[in-house]
Amino acid sequence: MSEVVTYKREDQIAYISVNNPPVNALSLPVRQGLEAAFTKFANDNEAKAAILICEGRTWIAGADITEFGKPPEDPWLPKVIHQMEANEKIIVAAIHGTALGGGFETAMGCHYRCAVPSAKLGLPEVTLGLLAGATGTQRLPRLIGVKRALDAMISGAPFSASNGLEWGAVDEIVDGDLRDGATQFTKKLLAANAKPRRISDEEVDGLELNEHFFNEYRNGMAKKTRGFFAPEQIVKCVEAAVSLPYKEAVEREGELFMECMMSSHSVAQRHLFFADRACAKVDDVPKDTPLRDIKKVAVIGGGTMGGGIAMNFANAGIPVVLKEINQEALDRGLEIIRSNYNATVTKGRMSAEQMDQRVGIISGVLDYDDLSDCDLIVEAVFENMALKKEIFGELDRIAKPGAILASNTSTLDIDEIAASTNRPEDVIGWHFFAPANVMTLLELVRGAKTSHEVIATSMAMAKTIKKIAVLVGVCFGFVGNRIFFPYVREAQQMILEGVPPERIDQVAFEWGMAMGPNGVSDLSGLDVLDKVKSEWLDRPDDPALWAVGTKLVELGRLGQKTKAGIFNYAGRTAVPDQVVADLAKSEATRLGIQQLSEVSDEEIIERLMFSMINEGALILEEGIAMRSSDIDVVFVHGYGMPRYRGGPMRYADTVGLSNVVAAMEKYRERYGDMYWTPAPLLKRLAEEGGSFSG
């Protein structure tokens, strides 16, 4: 018997226990252990029933993701599940924690399922670009119905044990000790002379389906699953469950699973699964670094960004003080916060009581001295170095010893800001992304003197407020904006060259971006970008850099907030404007920029994406980012890049670095060395046949 799977019989009941910390993943030793245990159970004449139960904090939480992409090793999970199900004696799954993916498929291979009230069940494989390929797409529709099964698998969201009981996925809820409760449930089954109940023998309930059901379902999920490969394959599997015999449908599931597994989408999504976890690791900050207590937070600046930042802490139950320069601005800031919460209540995502509780721990002040008892102070005023240095001078005067002083700057030098204090070790960048109460990314910027305690505490607090934190170094724009600037540059350069801005955005959208670069610029505010350019002291000596945006700002076209920018706006709908095309042509003539007679979609994507990739390679060489996957996390969580692309550096690996370099050399020949000289790291990796992901 395997060390991770044990077999013990007490009277008529065999207890098969899995103990594979930390989450009882279905690694090869676990699968081998289950196969051996259920073989022993089948041959144990004294055993009349078996209970499959797990040690530790959870039931089998899923497959061992480190095995994905490798040659399968026997026994594969479907084989184990079918072996379990075929047993002539009843098998009961006793579930606690999370039964997800392969874990839930294993539970569905049992004849009966009981669970504690707090248990969660589901098939989240879609989040990795996969489908439940160990008979899950065939079993779940038989258990809970086609529509519910599709919803669960397409969203990947787990459902509660109580929902499982209501829908038919769970047979018994166990209050109290799970082992005792499962034993009592199993004894009741034996007393009733219950027989094995095999899901594979059951028919899919098709009463809810009309002839157009699957097409209508596809239409309904289209917007949410745009661009992703796996959701359509899941629908195909469920169609097979409805229309084919079980054995043939399982074979179809296996074929579609392998198509998903081999797709670039799944490779990218699995890459991000690990990248999201890797970014929490900071090699030079010891794990046992002491953390500072953060019991009260201040936010300086009550605008849209400052209010959103304050909401993050209030949502985590941490009292927040909002500082503004006058009562009118403070009242406006507090009202924006209340309005944001009220919108969430109106949508049914929060109760009025929860809103009152969160608003109740946000207070406002006008005097810096009222921040003297705060443990963390986040400055969130607009991007102006002189103003930020003035504020940090005040914070140095009033903040208590050990308080963390954070700037929400998106571009400016944290070391210069820190130098305006006598405690640079307490200063760090906390770059939130708008809207700050929604976006999951938090770019933490370490200065030259930022202490390990401040870094470790910031990383921990980011997790508390449910952010993905990426630690980066100091340069203009840090990681996110420094790589984003070439994206905007190429978009505006193509407008000067005669490419319609709506076409650029449509191509980027079809590639997978949440919005095109011109729409994003309008949303951010062209005046904001122009202000950033004025603060960018070492920007390229290029009069064409963001020239379209600068001219539009001069005309008062600032973007969505003025209903006109690169596009006109009817509400939030972008409408092309001939005025912009004429302005771009005029500027191109003034700057001596040649109009392009034809630009392919491929060129648009190459110029947008490869310019970012090259900047990412420079950032890696300079040590601004710790690892290439951190850059990918920044762009997926902060800039609307689709998970199925994996981020810019993963996308470079997908395309092939030699192909990236070849394209860059092509544009270098056309435009010169300023922007299109391949970064040394990129060129070296391409020559070696290497990749950013190793």
Which residues are the active-site residues?
Answer: 105, 125
**d(Cα 96, Cα 120) in Å, to the nearest integer?**
8
Q: What is the DSSP letter of 290?
A: P
- Tell me the CA distances in angstroms from 521 to 90, 138, 517, 567, one per residue in order: 62, 46, 6, 10
3-state DSSP helix/strand/coil % of the chain, to nearest 5:
50, 10, 35
Asked whether the CA dihedral 410, 413, 419, 425 is positive or negative, the reply is positive
Residue 322 sits at φ, ψ, to 5 deg, of -100, 125
Asked whether the CA dihedral 382, 386, 392, 397 is positive or negative, the reply is negative
**d(Cα 495, Cα 489) in Å, to the nearest integer?**
10
**d(Cα 428, Cα 445) in Å, to the nearest integer?**
6
- Identify the helix (H) or strand (E) that includes residue 121: strand 120-122
Scanning 159-199, the segments in alpha helix (DSSP H) are: 161-167, 178-191
**d(Cα 157, Cα 161) in Å, to the nearest integer?**
13
Q: What is the DSSP string of 543-602?
A: TTTTHHHHHHHHTT--BGGGTBSSSEEETTEEE--HHHHHHHHHHHHHHTPPPPS---HH
The 3-state DSSP class for residue 316 equals coil
Q: What is the DSSP string of 494-513?
A: HHHTT--HHHHHHHHHHHT-
Q: What is the DSSP letter of 127?
A: G
Neighbouring C-alpha atoms within 13 Å toward the C-beta of 643:
21
